[in-house]
Structure 1
Amino acid sequence: MNKKKIYSTWFLAPAMLIFLIFFIIPMITSLFFSMTVWDFKNFTFVGLDNFKMFFSERSLNIGIKNTLIYAVLTSGLKVILAFLIAVFLSSAIRTKNIIRSIVFFPNLVSTIAIGITFTAFMHPSKGIFNKVIEFFGGTGIDWLGNINLALFSVIATDVWKGVSIATVIYVAGIASIDKTFYEAASIDGASGWQRLKSITIPLCRPAMNSVIILSFIGGMRSFDLIWAMTGGGPGFATDVMASIVYKQYAAGFYGLSTAGNVIMFVLIAVLAFPLQKFLLSKEVD
């Protein structure tokens, strides 16, 4: 019995070693350097000063607010829109394979390319969006220059790109549902809405939970699309945690940026793990 236990433990050793080297040690090192002012030659220990500065400076702590708004809205919209599209694509329509390919297309394009393209589309005077609005007699909108609108413009672009992979996950979840459930419901006279509410949604819960978790964590970590479209501007209107950390690194404030990384890690862990536990508890056995 003891030999069998040791034998199993040795199988775990390589994975534990990799976990130690690439996760535990970097995490402890980051925590230490977040409490210092450092460069590539030396460091000075300053305790919690970096964290105090991060929470006291508006140009820094606004990233926490924007990150939460960005993550919640992008995740929520992807969950709802992707589910509706997946239900449509799982119905008996002849062109569903072609439509599936079209829906998945945004996921094949580089995020930076999408950011640059939509920045051109949203140009205040030459962008196609404003040209369409003006064609119908409206007034052009400063999509990325208005501090009250810029973040939501980037969110809309993120949803357009991210809804594709969420739809694929939903389609797979719906396809895995046993058709006999729908046949039994039809015999009992259930309407389309009743079948959707009582069969599709409950049995598609694992796929839905995956979409929620993946899109929420992705939203919390988002950087490339925001940087390509606004660079965090105008002002600090679209700055999120990742863009602020990048700016501090670029400016040479390595200790402050490391503190931002630690805050972002804690924020994701504190929100994502309880959310995952709650969602798993709601799955149908």
Structure 2
Amino acid sequence: MTALTAPSSAAPAAGRSRGRPGRSYLHRTYPLWYYIPAGVLFLVFFVVPTLASFFFSLTRWSLFDWEFIGLDNYIQFLTEPQMIGSLRNTVVYAVLTSGAKVVLGMALGLLLTTQIRARGLLRSMVFFPVIVSTIGVGIMFTTMMHPTDGLINATLGVIGIEGPKWLANPQLALISVAFVDIWKGVGLATVIYMAGITAIPTEYYEAARVDGSSAFSSFWHITLPLARPATFTVILLSLIGGLRSFDLIWAMTKGGPGFASDVIASVVYKQYQAGFYGLSTAGNVVMFVVVMAIVLPLNVLMRKAEVDR
């Protein structure tokens, strides 16, 4: 009887030993399944549109037809009369807005992490412009910056100062829009700096006070170095936003007066409005390349500086 039952007892054991590799494989791979939804979304909403943009930038296309023309769109876009000016304006706008957000964000972050009165209210006031519609902000400041009826020049007139034509002067239009962008975006930079500053251990400041360090010395030797990750984040986000900026500029000046405040994005939109869809697609690719050419090396340098520290 023992000989008859032995095979039956051995069979399940063999089955279990054969089943273990399968269960082990599933156990090893099932966490990867959670990447599938994100991977599908990334493929559908980023990879496919990006590849399609590169392809259609090489064509003359409409909604119903397309014709392959090679690099003609890029040549035409890069030889547009306003292209050099728009590229210069894009870089100036991005550098000005990102630099100001770093400086003001750091200053406001330091202020709003101290024990001051109405700190919660001040934090809300600083962050409030971030959540306001960009188009709404553009329309509001366009009205306020009107050369004769605007609130800003009317206020300056009360104290005897003749206000400039903020948006009608080619020398001031881009800078005026940049100031509005800074006002709207500095709240986000402030929140990032507040998070970075509050993460610094208080023991460092206590040790500095015991050693007799001044407030400026503590800021220079403790806050500034240890808040470097927040600074890098603000620089990258502000720079990318500035290089891609369109909505605020279009709402306030539409690239004018003339082409004085045109940036790459506004030139692309004008080409699209004129019906040159392939040309505008090539312009989008050019803007993508410009952003990547500036941001990626900067990101590498900042990461290297963080590691070296």
Q: Which bin holds the TM-score, normalised by the shorter protein?
A: over 0.9
Measure the CA separation in 2 of the matches of 1:267 and 1:147: 25
- The aligned residue for residue 39 of structure 2 is 16
The answer to whether residue 268 in structure 2 is matched with residue 218 in structure 1 is: no
Structure 1 residue 10, shift from structure 2 partner: 4.2
Measure the CA separation in 2 of the matches of 1:114 and 1:203: 34
2:211 to 185, 188, 197: 188
SS of equivalent residue, structure 1 residue 141: coil
Measure the CA separation in 2 of the matches of 1:7 and 1:139: 70
Judged with a 3 Å threshold, the aligned counterparts in structure 2 of structure 1 residues 38 and 168 are, in CA distance, closer, same or farther, namely: same
Deviation per CA, 1:75-118, whole angstroms, max 9, x where unpaired?
00000011011111112212222211221121232111111111
Structure 1 residue 209, shift from structure 2 partner: 1.1
SS of equivalent residue, structure 1 residue 283: helix
Structure 1 residue 174, shift from structure 2 partner: 0.7
- The aligned residue for residue 90 of structure 2 is 67
Structure 1 residue 258, shift from structure 2 partner: 0.1
Structure 1 residue 14, shift from structure 2 partner: 3.7
2:117 to 80, 91, 94: 94
Q: Give yes or no for contact 1:63–1:241 (8 Å, CA) kept in 2.
A: yes
Deviation per CA, 1:39-72, whole angstroms, max 9, x where unpaired?
1111122211111111111223432221111111
Q: Give yes or no for contact 1:202–1:283 (8 Å, CA) kept in 2.
A: no
Deviation per CA, 1:241-279, whole angstroms, max 9, x where unpaired?
222222211211000000010011111111111111222
What are the residue-to-residue correspondences of 1:1-285 with 2, within 5 Å? 3=25, 6-7=29-30, 9-283=32-306
Measure the CA separation in 1 of the matches of 2:213 and 2:91: 40
Paired letter, 2:270: K
Deviation per CA, 1:101-149, whole angstroms, max 9, x where unpaired?
2211212321111111111111011112212222222222010001111
Measure the CA separation in 1 of the matches of 2:223 and 2:240: 25
Measure the CA separation in 2 of the matches of 1:22 and 1:161: 28
Measure the CA separation in 2 of the matches of 1:123 and 1:11: 54
Measure the CA separation in 2 of the matches of 1:190 and 1:72: 34
Bigger Cα displacement from structure 2, 155-164 vs 240-249: 240-249
Measure the CA separation in 1 of the matches of 2:228 and 2:159: 42
Measure the CA separation in 2 of the matches of 1:145 and 1:283: 44
Paired letter, 2:106: F
Q: Give yes or no for contact 1:54–1:61 (8 Å, CA) kept in 2.
A: no
Structure 1 residue 30, shift from structure 2 partner: 0.8
Unaligned stretches of 5+ in structure 1? none
Measure the CA separation in 2 of the matches of 1:160 and 1:91: 22
SS of equivalent residue, structure 2 residue 67: strand
Paired letter, 2:178: I
TM-score, length basis structure 2? 0.87
Paired letter, 1:255: G
Q: How many residues align?
A: 285
RMSD between aligned alpha carbons? 1.8
TM-score, length basis structure 1? 0.94
Bigger Cα displacement from structure 2, 100-109 vs 223-232: 100-109
Paired letter, 1:69: V
SS of equivalent residue, structure 2 residue 102: helix
Measure the CA separation in 2 of the matches of 1:216 and 1:253: 28
Structure 1 residue 7, shift from structure 2 partner: 4.3
Unaligned stretches of 5+ in structure 2? 1-20
- The aligned residue for residue 16 of structure 2 is none
Larger Rg: 2
